[in-house]
């Protein structure tokens, strides 16, 4: 004898519940990418995480969100947009900057 609730078998209700959980759960995956601007050997270079305004102006006002200077920097970015520039004066204007859009 199969147990039913409102005419639907218990197994069907469990299966529907599991399907619902799978549908509403967001699939989270991570990946590691090597980006040239974060790997450097010159001790004068630094990477600065900055605001959009600082990025657009290529200038951190000596107040970046975070500074990376190891030459082998690993940066964990959260979902959304993150901005980075080279801290060496004028290098950002020559293209040493990057925007990361994490989805």
What CATH number should be reported for the domain holding residue 64? 2.60.40.420
The Cβ of residue 62 has, within 10 Å, a number of other Cβ atoms equal to 7
Cβ partners under 8 Å of residue 63, min gap 6: none
* Residues in the chain with pLDDT values less than 50: none
The number of folded domains in the chain is 1
Predicted local distance difference test score (pLDDT) of residue 21: 54
Strands 80-86 and 47-50: antiparallel
Predicted local distance difference test score (pLDDT) of residue 32: 75
Domain that holds residue 79: 36-102
Identify whether 9 is part of a domain.
no
Measure the CA–CA gap between 35 and 57, rounded to whole angstroms: 22
Identify whether 72 is part of a domain.
yes
Predicted local distance difference test score (pLDDT) of residue 99: 94
Predicted local distance difference test score (pLDDT) of residue 40: 84
What pTM does this model have?
Answer: 0.67
Identify whether 46 is part of a domain.
yes
Predicted local distance difference test score (pLDDT) of residue 18: 58
Predicted local distance difference test score (pLDDT) of residue 50: 97
Predicted local distance difference test score (pLDDT) of residue 4: 53
CA neighbor of 49 nearest in space, from 36, 34, 38: 38
Identify whether 64 is part of a domain.
yes
């Amino acid at each position: 004898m199969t147990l039913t609730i409102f005419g639907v078998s218990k197994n069907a209700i469990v299966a529907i519940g599991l399907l619902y959980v799978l549908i509403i759960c967001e699939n989270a995956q991570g990946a590691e990418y090597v980006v040239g601007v974060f790997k450097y050997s010159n001790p004068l270079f630094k990477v600065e995480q900055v605001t959009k305004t600082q990025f657009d102006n290529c200038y951190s006002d000596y107040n970046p969100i975070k500074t990376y200077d190891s030459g082998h920097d690993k940066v964990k970015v959260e979902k959304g947009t993150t901005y980075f520039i080279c801290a060496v004066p004028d290098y950002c204007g020559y293209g040493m900057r990057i925007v990361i859009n994490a989805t």
